[in-house]
Amino acid sequence: MKVGVVGLGYVGLPLAVAFAEGGHDVVGVDTDSRKVDALARGSSYVEDVAGDRIAAVGERLRATTRYADLATVDVAVIAVPTPLTDNREPDLGPLLGAGTELARVLQVGQLVVLESTTYPGTTRERLVPLLEESGLAAGRDFAVAYSPERIDPGRTDFTLRTTPKVVGGLTPACLRRAVAFYGHVCDEIVEVASTESAELTKLLENVFRSVNIALVNELAILCDRMGIDIWEVVDAAATKPYGFMRFAPGPGMGGHCLPVDPFYLAWKAREYDMPTAFVELAGEVNQKMPYFCVEKITRALNEHAKSVRGSKIAIVGVSYKAGVGDLRESPAVKIMRLLGRLGGQLAYHDELVPKLPDLELESDSLEGVLADSDLAVIVTAHPGLDVQAIVDGAPLVVDFRGVTRGIEASNLVRL
Ligand SMILES: NC(=O)c1ccc[n+]([C@@H]2O[C@H](COP(=O)([O-])OP(=O)(O)OC[C@H]3O[C@@H](n4cnc5c(N)ncnc54)[C@H](O)[C@@H]3O)[C@@H](O)[C@H]2O)c1
């Protein structure tokens, strides 16, 4: 098979590599020439794809900025970003751009699959009309399907192959094509009746997490006031063998998905006179968390007769989650901005994020940031973080991830 992947990011690159490893010829198209150059050098920029895998597939994966190279593929998968505008409305710019370019080279018999997360109706109402600008008819001359990506960056227990893949087709024949296609790299395919069902499935998964994280974050704020240990409560509840799923509180939601995707659904629901109250409320609670974290830091310093202004604050971990260097919507960045505005002197340590250009900061060693600090704040705890060294090395430690549990120390404050 010849496979095209449009958008070689966290979603597109692992998929492109998986097909190349399966012996298929893959052409990846990305508008970012730096990514194309990196792949040409055989190096990876996505943590979940080791550089040696890129080198190992060699010529079977070719990256380019030219859409024209997609004219010869059997299947084209679109995995471009679906962000929000400044007004927090869906920004389909990259997706519509990709559709327009693809239409120019579309051929009879090709299958086009959208993987970008989006609201129900996008594939049929927005992508198909663009592709049909080619003069070809969807469902007759070419096939169209939607299949959400369930990748969880940094996770190793479930892979593309072992995570069931949900697929919806524009027509039953489109569905059959897409099921056969994904069968090459996924063990289990879950067929749904339409592209809309597949689109909404992904949003349900993300809204479910957003709502549950918001619930436990709200309880964390309440626990703070009531003097109850939220971590103990969550762990105790998680001993129930049925009917409960453990979600951890934290400094707020980050990444490309959870802070963004639910708003795609909320936006579309308005067209149907339907306010999605759960979605909006969860977003509100989660967005409040970085502000609550700053309040907690301020109180901790106050206990030590210090103010944020003038204090040397060491931030440990700035990416949005453990094990990845992704800064998108990271609550750590929000917390740092707020502390900076209050006059805090910031330094940070994150082995996966060498620079924060927006804040004009560079990562220092753990010892480096702890030396002379007034306070260390654990915002993201990457695997292998020496938590004891932080507690021993800083006069005051605030932990928003619960990783200091089990350590008894008078200089320790936990969410
Ligand atoms: N990252 C995740 O964990 C994850 C998980 C599931 C679903 N998704 C969804 O998958 C989609 C892609 O996310 P991602 O994290 O891979 O994003 P990303 O930013 O890592 O990668 C997207 C790539 O698309 C490229 N691009 C942008 N516009 C383009 C265009 N018009 N033509 C060609 N390339 C273009 C960008 O340069 C970038 O390399 C989004 O809809 C996202 O919501 C992401």
Digit-coded pLDDT (tens) for 251-263: 999 988 888 999 9
Residue 156 C-alpha to ligand 1 middle, in angstroms? Answer: 20
Measured from the CA of 115, which atom of ligand 1 is nearest?
10
Q: Establish whether residue 32 lines the binding site of ligand 1, counting it when its CB lies within 6 angstroms of any ligand atom.
A: yes
Q: For 175-202, what is the mean pLDDT?
A: 98
Residue 273 is predicted with a pLDDT of 96
Identify the pLDDT of residue 223.
Answer: 98
Mean pLDDT within 181-196: 97
Residue range 363-381: mean pLDDT, rounded: 97
Q: Report the C-alpha gap between 336 and 359 in whole angstroms.
A: 8
Q: Is 35 in the pocket of ligand 1 (CB under 6 A)?
A: yes
373 lines ligand 1 (CB under 6 A): no
Q: What mean pLDDT comes out for the span 267-286?
A: 94
Nearest atom in ligand 1 to the alpha carbon of residue 82 is: 41
> Is the per-residue pLDDT at 63 higher than 90?
yes
Query: Ligand 1 in contact with 170 (CB < 6 A)?
Result: no
Give pLDDT tens digits for 86-112. 888 999 999 999 999 999 999 999 999
Residue 156, pLDDT > 90, answer: no
Where does the pLDDT of residue 393 fall: very low under 50, low under 70, confident under 90, or very high at 90 and above?
Answer: very high
> Which ligand 1 atom is the nearest neighbour of the CA of 261?
43
The reported pLDDT for the residue numbered 133 is 97
In terms of Cα–Cα distance, which of 30, 39, 38 is closest to 59? Answer: 39
Tell me how far the alpha carbon of residue 351 lies from the centroid of ligand 1, in angstroms. Answer: 24
Per-residue pLDDT at 201 exceeds 90: yes
Residue nearest to atom 7 of ligand 1 (CA): 149
Q: What is the mean pLDDT of residues 107-128?
A: 98
User: Whose Cα sits closest to atom 5 in ligand 1?
Assistant: 151
Q: Return the percentage of the chain with pLDDT > 90, whole number.
A: 94
Quick one: pLDDT at residue 287? Answer: 93
Q: Is there an atom of ligand 1 within 6 Å of 10 CB?
A: yes
Beta carbons of 79 and 11 less than 8 angstroms apart: yes
C-alpha 125, offset from chain centre: 25
Among 6, 8, 10, which is best to mutate for testing ligand 1, by the most ligand atoms less than 8 A from CB? 10
Which are the catalytic amino acids? 257
Q: What is the pLDDT of residue 147?
A: 98
For the stretch 289-343, pLDDT in tens is 999 999 999 999 999 999 999 999 999 999 999 998 999 999 999 999 999 999 9
pLDDT band at 152 (very low <50, low <70, confident <90, very high): confident
CB 170 within 8 A of CB 124: yes
What's the pTM?
Answer: 0.92
Average pLDDT score over the chain: 96
Ligand 1 pocket member 154 (CB < 6 A): no
Lowest mean pLDDT among 44-48, 64-68, 124-128, 164-168: 44-48
